[in-house]
């Protein structure tokens, strides 16, 4: 028989530690973290429905659809259905997440959309009741006929040209009109909101900064807003750039250009070589160009005094026209900070040389003669007076 007795200390510690470690996660029924929301859309638009579920193991997600007034006749939706207008993206991790997207909506897309989730092992057993093995979340999508808007054609404006008027006319609508207003480049234009089926906006002084994407927007009481787009195009106008850039050898130079005008331009940087502007040669890898909409930057690192100085040109070109400006880059030597001190030192040296030369070339008559007395001879005034008195007595 095996000998019984107290367990070794190391084994006891191991067993105690194992008892404290967490065991396998307990099973958890599927539950919704985020469920789809009902929406009202217009024909030609798109919608997205989100479904986020949690459970252990991670639940499976499916999408189903039922037509209007046929809520009990659900059909499963698949990725690529409805002439590839349906897209379903699903990812499984700690949670199950799925997104249903349908584009180019038609009136027939209205109905009830259902997200189903389950981690029940019997979920795909046809003998089981789906209402028991699957949880469900529904959203109603209503698709309305898009209003008809007659809008002005796209226009091209020119500097000092005539005023331009943009117009929109709402001819049909799914519900009563609440308001209309104008938007430029995503922002509402102040003072344009009113309640009318016909609206217009005037550009009194056509300039490049007035170009952009204009929208006439119509707001309805019981349906989504509708809009029409009018593009106002213009040649780019460069409104900011560096006329010159002064740097020391080895430093970094930064030149930029910014413009107004729509559509956004394509930017090109060039350098004047032998009197002709040529595209920049970046064989050295020191040139970096960054473009974003109406702004561009040219950065040159580790400046070389023999290669980089000169004229640089930024060019902006769009569908309407092209414009260019020039920046002059000057590169100074490493000794440039010492030039003021060297200039002062040179002035001192020149002054000393002038003084020395002047002293050596003084005229001879300005130099005292060693044979001549240093000063006038002194006379004995007392003796002179005595001689004078003596002659006066002899006369008497």
Q: How far apart are CA 118 and CA 61, in angstroms?
A: 7
Q: What is the mean pLDDT of the chain?
A: 85
Q: Which residue has the tokens 């560096």?
A: 242
Concatenating the DSSP letter of every residue in 341-373 gives HHHHHHHHHHHHHHHHHHHHT--GGGSPPTTS-
Q: How far apart are CA 319 and CA 280, in angstroms?
A: 23
Q: How far apart are CA 237 and CA 324, in angstroms?
A: 9
Ramachandran region, residue 69 (left: φ > 0; alpha: ψ -120 to 50; beta: rest): left
Query: Which residues make Cβ contacts (< 8 Å) with residue 31, sequence separation at least 6?
Result: 53, 54, 55, 135
Q: What pLDDT is stored for residue 37 in this prediction? A: 96
Q: What pLDDT is stored for residue 334 in this prediction? A: 74
Whether residue 51 is predicted with pLDDT greater than 60 in this model: the reply is: yes
Q: What pLDDT, in 10s, does the model give residues 354-396?
A: 888 888 877 555 555 555 555 555 455 555 554 545 444 444 4
Whether residue 327 is predicted with pLDDT greater than 60 in this model: the reply is: yes
Q: How far apart are CA 108 and CA 209, in angstroms?
A: 43
Contact 113, 100 (CB under 8 A): yes
10 Å CB burial of residue 49 (0-12, 13-18, 19+) is buried
Whether residue 324 is predicted with pLDDT greater than 80 in this model: the reply is: yes
Q: How far apart are CA 54 and CA 29, in angstroms?
A: 8
What pTM, to 2 d.p., does this model score?
A: 0.67
Q: How far apart are CA 315 and CA 329, in angstroms?
A: 17
Q: Which two tokens stand for residue 329?
A: 């880059």
The pLDDT confidence band at residue 336, using thresholds 50, 70 and 90, is low
Q: What pLDDT is stored for residue 99 in this prediction? A: 97
Q: What pLDDT is stored for residue 4 in this prediction? A: 39
Q: Which two tokens stand for residue 78?
A: 């698949």
CA 11 from chain centre, in angstroms, equals: 63
Would you give the DSSP letter of residue 223? S
**Cβ-based neighbour number of residue 41 at 10 Å:** 19
Q: What pLDDT, in 10s, does the model give residues 129-147?
A: 777 789 999 999 999 999 9
Q: What pLDDT, in 10s, does the model give residues 61-113?
A: 999 999 988 877 899 999 999 999 999 999 999 999 999 999 999 999 999 99
């Amino acid at each position: 028989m095996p000998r019984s007795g107290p367990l070794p200390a190391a084994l006891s510690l191991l067993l105690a530690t194992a008892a404290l470690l967490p065991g396998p996660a307990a099973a958890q029924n599927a539950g919704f973290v985020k469920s789809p929301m009902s929406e009202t859309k217009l024909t030609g638009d798109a919608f997205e429905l989100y479904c986020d579920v949690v459970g252990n193991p991670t639940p499976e997600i499916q999408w189903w659809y039922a037509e209007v007034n046929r809520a009990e006749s659900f059909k499963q939706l698949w990725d690529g259905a409805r002439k590839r207008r349906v897209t379903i993206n699903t990812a499984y991790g700690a949670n199950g997440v799925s997104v249903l997207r349908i584009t180019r909506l038609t009136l027939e897309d209205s109905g009830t959309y259902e997200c189903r989730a389950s981690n029940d092992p019997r979920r795909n057993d046809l003998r089981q009741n789906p209402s028991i093995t699957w949880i469900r979340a529904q959203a109603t999508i209503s698709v309305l006929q898009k209003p008809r808007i007659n809008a002005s054609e796209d226009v091209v404006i020119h500097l000092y040209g005539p005023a331009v008027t943009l117009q929109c006319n709402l001819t049909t609508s799914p519900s009563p009109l609440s308001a209309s207003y104008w938007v430029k480049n995503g922002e509402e234009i102040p003072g344009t909101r009113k309640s009318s089926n016909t609206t217009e906006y005037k550009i009194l002084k056509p300039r490049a900064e007035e170009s952009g994407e204009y929208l006439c927007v119509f707001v309805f009481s019981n349906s989504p807003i509708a809009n029409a787009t009018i593009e106002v195009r213009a040649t780019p106008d460069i409104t900011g750039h560096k006329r010159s850039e002064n740097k020391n050898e080895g430093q970094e130079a930064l030149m930029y250009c910014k413009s107004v005008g729509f559509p956004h331009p394509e930017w090109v940087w060039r350098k004047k070589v032998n009197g002709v502007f040529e595209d920049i040669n970046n064989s050295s890898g020191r040139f970096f160009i960054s473009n974003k909409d109406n702004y561009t930057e040219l950065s040159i690192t580790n400046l070389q005094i023999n290669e980089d100085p000169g004229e640089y040109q930024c060019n902006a070109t769009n569908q309407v026209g092209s414009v260019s400006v020039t920046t002059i880059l000057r590169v100074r030597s490493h000794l440039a900070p010492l030039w003021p001190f060297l200039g002062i030192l040179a002035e001192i040296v020149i002054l000393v040389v002038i003084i020395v030369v002047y002293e050596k070339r003084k005229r001879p008559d300005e130099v005292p003669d060693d044979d001549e007395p240093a000063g006038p001879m002194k006379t004995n005034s007392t003796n002179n007076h005595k001689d004078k008195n003596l002659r006066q007595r002899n006369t008497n």
